[in-house]
Amino acid sequence: MTDLFIQPIFLLGFGGVGRALARQIVAARDRHAQRNKLRLAIVGVADSASAVVEPAGLTDQELLDLIARKSRGERLGAGTLSVLPDALPAHTIVVDTTATDATVPILLAAKARGMGVVLANKLPLAGELAWWDALADEQSRWETTCGAALPVISTLNTLLDSGDDVIRIEGALSGTLSFLASQLEAGRLFGAAVREAKTRGYTEPDPRQDLGGLDAARKALILARMLGYRLNMSDVSVESLYPVEMDALSVDDFLRAADSLDEAMRQRAAELTAGGRRLRYAAEIENGQLRVGLIGADPDSKLGSIRGSDSIVVFHTRCFDDNPLAVSGRGAGQEVTASGVLGDIVSLARARR
């Protein structure tokens, strides 16, 4: 088709989500052409060690070769991130699927050149307020920072754009901690539940990255900033599920030592679930205050209704008062996160056309 809009894309990060995204872009060629008159041209790929840049766009076979190369642990190419974003076409969309704030200088430079930005990486938006101010505008998308492909960000934007007043947001924002809460509620011992969550692949390689609550806090902070609250991470009350002195342990030693927390966590769960309440690790945003931690949820509430490792965000607003608006479902996973990123790319490309 000769009337396709060609949108250059640069993939910053080529781990599990980045590679899944590249495969999904290739698989969706016909759909994008027919539905949106759009072709996404990947003009480069980078990881922390190397980069490949092709301003004319990599072929699908070259992309698949890069996926195979990265999967084997090989370098992507001879280039480095130091050449970016000057080496990219001026109307490129830079897509960040990393989990580091080391990408912030590249993102800020891209924005200064008028490029679009799509973020699955939470750290730039939950870091310094100056970063938020520079990145969180109409030429950026960040749907997958708060729930993989769940339409949490777009729902909040719609509520705000409609003139509704968002009074309170509550949510279970971590699939890992939702699973652990359900296990503790069922009487499972904490140490055993943590080890099972790791075995199932629900946790980060170091489970303390989930158990400390910081990932859930970053998601909640992004939502709070969207509401206009000028908050930093230091303003967030975060309940960790393990004591700070256990940070000094190796991962293996921590997994063994987690059994020492069994009784304390059993008592905490029993207190919060008294009267039939449901144990949840939840975020609560209201009146400029932000807290994440364990709570006992009403079993008839939307927060109390989720099961297993699902995520949910509940919006209490002026229009959705007696029956709050909820977005729930699978809130994690590489393929589903990549699909959310792809949706953001298409949305931004259509807006920039």
Q: Is the pLDDT of residue 24 over 90?
A: yes
Per-residue confidence (pLDDT) for residue 155, from 0 to 100: 98
Q: Is the pLDDT higher at 334 or at 320?
A: 320
Question: What's residue 98's pLDDT?
Answer: 94
Per-residue HEC secondary structure of 81-130 comes to: HHHCCCCCCCCCEEEECCCCHHHHHHHHHHHHCCCEEEECCCHHHHCCHH
Radius of gyration of the chain (CA): 21
DSSP letter (8 states) at residue 146: T
Q: Where in the chain is the domain with CATH 3.30.360.10?
A: 157-329
Residues of the chain with CATH 3.40.50.720: 5-148+334-352
- Mean pLDDT for all residues in the chain: 94
For the domain 5-148+334-352, what is the CATH superfamily, name and number? Answer: NAD(P)-binding Rossmann-like Domain (3.40.50.720)
Q: What are the residues facing 286 on neighbouring strands?
A: 168, 289
**Tokens representing residue 284 in the block:** 């609560």
Looking at the domain that runs over 157-329, which CATH code has it been given? 3.30.360.10
Is the confidence at residue 177, as pLDDT, over 90?
A: yes
Is pLDDT of 1 > 60? Answer: no
- Position with higher pLDDT, 201 vs 276: 276
pLDDT class of 2 with cuts at 50, 70, 90? low
* φ, ψ at 277 (rounded to 5°): -75, 160
Per-residue model confidence (pLDDT) at position 83 = 63
What percent of the chain shows pLDDT beyond 90? 86
At residue 200, the pLDDT reads: 86
Q: What does the DSSP 8-state code read for residue 148? A: T
Mean pLDDT of 48-55: 91
> What distance in Å separates the CA atoms of residue 193 and residue 258, rounded to the nearest whole number?
10
Please check the confidence at residue 158 and state whether its pLDDT lies above 90: yes
Across 266-291, average pLDDT: 97
Q: What tokens appear for 237 in the block?
A: 């009350």
CA pair distance 353, 340, nearest whole angstrom: 20
